[in-house]
Structure 1
Amino acid sequence: MRGKQRILGLVVALLALQLGSLISPAYACGCGAMIPDRASRIGVQRETSVVHWDARSRTEQIVMRFSVRGTAREAAWIMPVPGRADVELGDPYLFEELRELTAPEHRTRHYFWPRSGDWPFGGGGDSAAAPAPGAAPDAAAPPVGVVGRERLGDFDVARLTATDPDALRDWLDDNGFELPERLSGELRPYVEQKWEYVAVRLAPEERGAALYGTLDPLRITFTSERPVYPMRLSRLATTPQSLGLYVLSEHRMEPRGTIGGDAPEVTYAGEIAAEGAVGELTGRGSGEGNGGGGREGDGDRGARLFLTAVEQEFPEPGRIDGDHELRAANADTPYRQVVFHDRLLTIGGEVPVWLVTAVGVPAVASALLWGLRRRRAVRSAA
């Protein structure tokens, strides 16, 4: 009887935990605020973005792709940008190209003596791979202005201006979504700096479909005095955040600081060819450079394209205290992760060298000793 009660209690606890996850919305993602409707839940599992910075024209492009899970059939996503933005669908192949370009290099290194898992200690095969170290608001402007609105696949995109964060919240409420009270305060620094906003309604064209899996990427283009990646709104997240960032420019790039997360980790840095989706994004598919982030006095180096891949974790999103500002590194030092696969040194792929050595050396030594003794015996007899 007690066993049945324990099982029943465990089932009730699991159901309560599941119910709690369904009614607990995740409001933030790595670059903005993800706002579901009142009765739904949505969470961003992974955010991967590409930043292309053109220092000559002061133009920045951000292509972002989200992997989400939840029960929401509609949601809104808000991203502040420092200038007037154009929005279109991005090329999904861009991320595949960049993933292949930045993939770690795999190397094999051999070891002599057997380790745990090798015979005679049991099992066999490879050990686990290990990575190598390696301004004031304009009084004449309306509180919220709609610059443009268009439908892009599953996205209903509105480009907005705002001189009052509360008015922006009201606009979103009037369009069917509830804005968290705290987010209004987090938007105030952007309003004071006269930033604009990209508001996206995530509404699948298939009626009744839930937002789940990898969404189509969005490509946002705007002017800026310096390359930035908006992150401040992510401080509203209730779960740890993970950011993967590809930066395309003329030089190796790096964030100026940690902005409240773990230290950013560079997983790849190197010069690449502007081909395929990368060439289309940067406008260099024909082989002609049209600019890129860089230092002054580069002359004819405009066609050079450098790729930097950065990973960063935010275990406590509430500590995020700003946006990522990107800058050129002190040197264009190339870097690529190396994954080593340790293998036991063998002969013919089967016989361990240590075994041959352990058996062969004593045998040879014994034969030499036997020969030496026999030689001495022959001499003595003579």
Structure 2
Amino acid sequence: MVVSLQLGSLIAPAYACGCGAMVVDRNSRMTVDRETSAVGWDGSTEQIVMQLTVRGDAPEAAWIMPVPHRATVELGDAAVFSELETLTAPVRETRHYFWPRSGDWPFGGPDNTSGDAAAPSAAAPVGVVGRERLGPFDVARLTATDPTALEGWLTDNGFDLPDRLSTALRPYVEKKWEYVAIRLAPQEKGGPLLGRLDPLRLRFASDELVYPMRLSRLATTPQSLGLYVLADHRMEPRGTIGGQRPEVTYAGRVDTGGDSGEYPALGALTGGKPVFVTALSQSFPRPELIDGDHELRAAAADTPYRTTYYRDELLTVGPFPAWVLSLLGGAVVVVVAVLLVLRA
């Protein structure tokens, strides 16, 4: 089982939205303040649990997600995200130093500095292979042999397919991927889409762990990506796909099915088996350079790591700096030695 968590942001009218694309009415605006996705893979089946936090004046929107094979869709468990966040949170520690630094007595006042460790193919151009209502979502599972054919479904649901999105979808069509198209509507009819939406869980067959990122190249502002990966071993992306080099912020083995029951949602997702957790962070200053999807593989070694924020403090003994006491002690030793010599 492999799980990753992705955080991203989007300001309309850019149509990128992390691992999918958001389409709103041309007269509306929408901001996806936060996108959180948990992605799992057991070697043959991949699953994505995604939750959006949105704001704006759009009364409804359409979200399109490319998938390599036929997908099933159901509501997900929001507790997965809070458990992952708690599990991989940085730790804070205090480091002591002996000799005074700038700001310490006698060079100045108290030291307030601290150091941080940085951490589908089908006979027709578009086929609706399934449609269901899940909470506030109207979910349609589509096949498509031409990206522009999605325009029909979007038009029937009151949306227009942007030309840039049609072009960006072409690589997925060439690989015969399918789509999950979701119509988002507010729970109160007539109001705008606001706040944190219910999470959705997608599952589909896949012979490799791939996280669709290609549509993020449509974004007009810098994008950020956070991946929390749960697997048998430490995981890493095969490449940078046009962004900065991914950084590891956490790596370690965790028992999600322990007797303490500390992570019940993760245990349900991973089958309660011990897993190795790898947290990755990546920035995309120029999203137009994104040239593919993220493919994850096992790293060469299961080296543990955790982001740690350090606060440096002067070593003291009670209210006195240790270096002062050591100098006083040394002076006493010298005086005693001199007196003994004189006495001899």
The answer to whether TM tops 0.5 is yes
Q: In the alignment, which residue of structure 2 is the partner of 1:71?
A: 57
1:355–1:44 Cα change, 3 Å: farther
Q: In the alignment, which residue of structure 2 is the partner of 1:127?
A: 113
Is the 2:18–2:35 Cα contact (8 Å) retained in structure 1? yes
Report the 3-state secondary structure (helix = DSSP H, G, I; strand = E; otherwise coil) of the residue aligned with 2:16.
coil
1:107–1:233 Cα change, 3 Å: same
Q: In the alignment, which residue of structure 1 is the partner of 2:38?
A: 50
Report the 3-state secondary structure (helix = DSSP H, G, I; strand = E; otherwise coil) of the residue aligned with 1:124.
coil
Q: What does 1:1-382 align with in structure 2 at a 5 Å threshold?
A: 25-55=13-43, 58-124=44-110, 126-131=112-117, 138=122, 141-275=123-257, 276-282=264-270, 284-285=271-272, 303-348=273-318, 350-358=319-327, 360-361=328-329, 364=332, 367-368=335-336, 371=339, 375=342
Q: Which stretch of structure 1 is more off in the superposition, 243-252 or 193-202? A: 243-252
Q: In the alignment, which residue of structure 2 is the partner of 1:5?
A: none
Report the 3-state secondary structure (helix = DSSP H, G, I; strand = E; otherwise coil) of the residue aligned with 1:305.
strand
Is the 1:204–1:211 Cα contact (8 Å) retained in structure 2? yes
Is the 2:49–2:202 Cα contact (8 Å) retained in structure 1? yes
Q: Aligned-pair distance for 1:342?
A: 1.3
Residue identity in the other structure for 2:116: A
Q: Aligned-pair distance for 1:257?
A: 0.8
Which has the larger Rg? 1
Alignment gaps of 5+ in structure 2: 1-10, 258-263
Is the 1:51–1:248 Cα contact (8 Å) retained in structure 2? no
Q: Aligned-pair distance for 1:357?
A: 3.9
The number of residue pairs the alignment matches comes to 328
Is the 1:226–1:325 Cα contact (8 Å) retained in structure 2? yes
Report the 3-state secondary structure (helix = DSSP H, G, I; strand = E; otherwise coil) of the residue aligned with 2:202.
strand
Q: Which stretch of structure 1 is more off in the superposition, 321-330 or 221-230? A: 321-330
Report the 3-state secondary structure (helix = DSSP H, G, I; strand = E; otherwise coil) of the residue aligned with 2:36.
strand
Is the 1:34–1:77 Cα contact (8 Å) retained in structure 2? yes
Q: Which stretch of structure 1 is more off in the superposition, 89-98 or 223-232? A: 89-98
Report the 3-state secondary structure (helix = DSSP H, G, I; strand = E; otherwise coil) of the residue aligned with 1:145.
strand
Report the 3-state secondary structure (helix = DSSP H, G, I; strand = E; otherwise coil) of the residue aligned with 1:61.
strand
CA distance in 1, matches of 2:184, 2:105: 56
Q: Aligned-pair distance for 1:252?
A: 1.9
Kindly indicate which of the two structures has a greater share of residues assigned to strand: 2
Residue identity in the other structure for 1:342: D
Is the 1:53–1:248 Cα contact (8 Å) retained in structure 2? no
Is the 1:48–1:243 Cα contact (8 Å) retained in structure 2? no
CA distance in 2, matches of 1:263, 1:132: 14
Q: Aligned-pair distance for 1:121?
A: 4.9
Scaled by the length of structure 2, the TM-score of the pair is 0.86
Scaled by the length of structure 1, the TM-score of the pair is 0.78
CA distance in 2, matches of 1:75, 1:114: 60
Moved over 6 A (4+): none
Is the 2:76–2:201 Cα contact (8 Å) retained in structure 1? yes
Is the 2:40–2:46 Cα contact (8 Å) retained in structure 1? yes
**1:124-166 superposed Cα distances (whole Å, 9 cap, x missing partner):** 3553241167x9x55xx22211122222233222211112211
1:126–1:62 Cα change, 3 Å: farther
Is the 2:97–2:313 Cα contact (8 Å) retained in structure 1? yes
Is the 1:29–1:241 Cα contact (8 Å) retained in structure 2? no
Q: In the alignment, which residue of structure 2 is the partner of 1:6?
A: none
Q: Aligned-pair distance for 1:194?
A: 1.4
1:339–1:167 Cα change, 3 Å: same
**1:249-304 superposed Cα distances (whole Å, 9 cap, x missing partner):** 2222221111111111122222222331011112x24xxxxxxxxxxxxxxxxx55
Alignment gaps of 5+ in structure 1: 1-22, 286-302
Amino-acid identity (%): 65
Is the 1:48–1:245 Cα contact (8 Å) retained in structure 2? no
